[in-house]
Structures are given as C-alpha cells and as structure tokens.
Amino acid sequence: MRISAGIKSRRALAARTFFSHTTISAAEQGKILPSLEVTTAYVEACGGDPAEWEDRWRLVYAAGEDSAESPWPAQEVADGSDPMDSGCHVDAVTVQVARVALAAKRHIIGRVELRYSPRSHAAWGRFNGEKGLDWLAAHRHAVDITVGVGRESDQRRLGFEIEYGADDHWCGILITGAGAFFAWTAVRFDGAQVAYRETDRAVLG
C-alpha cells in the first residue's frame, strides 16, 4: 500500500503518521497485529479508507492475534510478489551474502543477501546498511538503493528502487526450481552510483 501510494521510505510514512519508523516497520512486517491507531494512521497516510480498514482490523482482532500474521491483503506466490505479503518470509533462510563497498574506497556500507523460501520455492534480494551508511544518509547525501534478484534460466531480473532508510530493504520474489539465482544491489549518492554488488549464484529447488 505504501509503495502504490508513492511513499518510498518508511521514514517518510512515519513522518505522516506521527509514529516512529520502527513502529511502521513492525506493522509492515506482519509478525504481530498493529494497534488500531497505527493501522488507521497508516491507511489514511496512504490515501486508503480508514473505516474500511478498521472493519478489517476488528475482524482479525476478533479471530485472535495469535492466529493472524498480517492485516494486509495476502498476495499469491508469483514472480514480483512481496515476500512478506505472500508469506514467503515465514520459513526464509539466507543462502548467499556479499558485502557492499564504495567503489572509490575500501569502505563497507552494507550487505546484500539472497533470501530463499523452501516451502514457497521463492527467492528475493535483501539489503542491510551499516551504521556508516545511516550517518551518510542523515548528514551528507541523498541515498537511494536498488535491491534485486536475478534468475539465470531466463535472464530475468527484478529490482526495487527506494530511498534508503535505516532498516532492511527487499525486492519482490522470483519463483525458483530451475537454474541459479543471485541477489544484487546498487547504491547511489545524490543520483550517482557509488556501489554495485552481486552475491554468488545458488541453485535453488
């Protein structure tokens, strides 16, 4: 919902809702049911109908918090689906990791991971920034990243571009089962690419 509303970062959404970006991140991850106040503030900030989502929230709450992973609509497991909304994150494991360094100097700014759900047969990329990158984004540069995943059998690559925030960023999934997969990321300071990295390839079932 946030992305379709044109709000790229959780920090930007947090500023609109007056909740912390940590609260917004937890709500999006779907591991616990957000409070009604967080849910309606989130929906309203994204241009949705708070009354409609309040009804949905109350239905989920009535069913019991322990039985519900997320109040957001589920997606099917298909190329391009979000790993959280499609439930692929539940059994996900990291199968490849690569450190990301600035091209101009030996300075590590983050890591890119190839994530894999054996149950759903899905893979995606995830980027984690270092504290140094957090500082650069807060004080020196407009930092944005693209995190993606590639499938070598058909040369398909998916990428998700977003303003960097001090949390994890990930892309949509690709269905596995044939050939090798890899995750990749590109980092830009003030619009200029300063880093690019791919993980090693992994054959996934």
For residues 124-162, one letter each, b for 16 or more C-beta atoms within 10 angstroms of the residue's C-beta and e for the rest, the string is: bbbbbbeeebbebbeeebebbbbbbbbbeeeeeebbbeb
pTM assigned to the model: 0.67
Q: 124 and 147 in contact (C-beta within 8 Å)?
A: no
pLDDT for residue 100 is more than 90? yes
Give the fold, CATH level 3, of 88-203. Immunoglobulin-like (2.60.40)
What's the confidence (pLDDT) of residue 40?
Answer: 87
Whether 30 shows a pLDDT value over 80: the answer reads no
The reported pLDDT for the residue numbered 170 is: 93
The pLDDT value recorded for residue 66 is 44
pLDDT in tens, 101-155: 998 788 999 999 999 999 999 999 999 999 899 889 889 999 999 999 999 999 9
pLDDT of residue 67 exceeding 60: no
Residues of CATH 2.60.40.10 domain(s) within the chain? 88-203
Highest mean pLDDT of the ranges 24-33, 54-63, 67-76, 102-111: 102-111
How many angstroms separate the CA atoms of 96 and 122, rounded?
A: 14
